[in-house]
Structure 1
Amino acid sequence: MNDLATLDAHGVLTEPMTLQIQRLLPGPIERVWAYITDSDLRRQWLAAGEMEMRVGAAFEFIWRNDELNDPPSRRPEGFDAEHRLECWITELDAPRRLGVTWGRSDGVTFELAPVGQKVLLTITHRRLPDRDLLLKVSAGWHAHLDVLAARVSGTVPPPFWDEWLRLKAEYAARIAE
């Protein structure tokens, strides 16, 4: 997507309604993989949910975004304290690639590549059904990855919901209708 020297925190559309977003994180690759696949680590930045690591395995993501920072930021209207999504593993090449189904989209792929002592994480969310969901998902991935970057770096993450609201407005300006 981007040259590492100019890596932008914002996601980009790689085709209509497909978002790709990247982060360069402290390694090693197995550590970042654990933050994606281990429920206890993943709940610290995205969503809980035990995964059986095999293609075809069903699992559930359980979001509790209010718990991503202390004290929690104010949740926007229209969101509940908890959200659940049934998913299935569609691709698995540990610790480099994980593909999962994701609601009404064509799924999400997590790709990890070592870059020296760091790891390039690329998330591709394919074929979202409409612009409103694309904007919510773009802001969501961006905010969740900011929390992940803080967690793996040992720093305090930004207030999730405050960031999500700011980022949704940014993505609305960046992504043409």
Structure 2
Amino acid sequence: MQAGTSNEYGAVLESGAVRFERLLSGPIERVWAYLTEADKRATWFCGGETEPHAGGQIALYFKHSQITDEPPPESHRKMNDEGALMGGTVTVWEPPHRLSFTWQGMGDPDSDVEIELTPAGDKVRLVLTHRRLATKSRMANVSSGWHLHLGLLEDQLLGQKPRGFWSRHERLMAEYAERQHEAE
């Protein structure tokens, strides 16, 4: 999916599930490293170690001041400045093609994330599906978050200056909430 097109948006698959697809700069092993190595993942999403096997733990340490220099809204200042630790359990570990894990934290019921990588010429197709999002507000928040974070991943892989995060967050959350409403 090309950045800047309507295909950049995640697609609602079913109630409580969203799917994103991106065509990224490869090779596949490099993209895998940005998904699984704490220092690389911290440049676009969140830090934290991943035990490299099914049944292993994944730490999700969000500290957005590491991925953007934009000031956060007051509601996200603590996570931005001090960080927030969440986690989960790796359910699939198939390097460099498939990573799945449960996501626990933020006071919400657990959800499931699946990321698949496939070669596409000199690019890599990333398909990310997040399921079991319990509420519409969680669905909008997670959808806008993945939208923004995947954009930052694209920037990292291209060696570009990271695009804005907080300046786009509230608008995207509202857009995803509206998209859900229209899909009903």
Q: Using structure 1 for the length normalisation, give the TM-score.
A: 0.91
Q: Distance in 2 between matches of 1:156 and 1:166?
A: 21
Equivalent residue number for residue 112 of structure 2 = 107
Equivalent residue number for residue 125 of structure 2 = 120
What is the aligned length?
172
Within the alignment, does 1:73 sit opposite 2:73 as a pair? no
CA contact (8 A) 1:105 1:126 kept: no
Question: Once superposed, which parts of structure 1, at least 4 consecutive aligned residues long, lie more than 3 Å away?
Answer: none
> What whole-Å deviation, never above 9, does each CA across 1:16-60 have from its counterpart, x for those lacking one?
110101111011100000000000000000010111201111131
Within 5 Å, which residues of 2 pair with 1:59-70? 59-69=58-68
Equivalent residue number for residue 149 of structure 1 = 154
Q: Distance in 1 between matches of 2:75 and 2:54?
A: 33
Q: Distance in 2 between matches of 1:106 and 1:85?
A: 12
Q: Distance in 2 between matches of 1:98 and 1:115?
A: 18
Q: Distance in 1 between matches of 2:6 and 2:54?
A: 31
Name the aligned partner's letter for residue 86 of structure 2.
L
The structure that is strand-richer by fraction is 2
Q: Using structure 2 for the length normalisation, give the TM-score.
A: 0.88
Within 5 Å, which residues of 2 pair with 1:9-158? 9-69=8-68, 72-79=69-76, 80-81=78-79, 82-103=83-104, 104-158=109-163
> What whole-Å deviation, never above 9, does each CA across 1:95-116 have from its counterpart, x for those lacking one?
1000100122431001101100
Unaligned runs of 5+ in 2: none
Q: Percent identity?
A: 37
Unaligned runs of 5+ in 1: none
Q: Distance in 1 between matches of 2:149 and 2:36?
A: 15
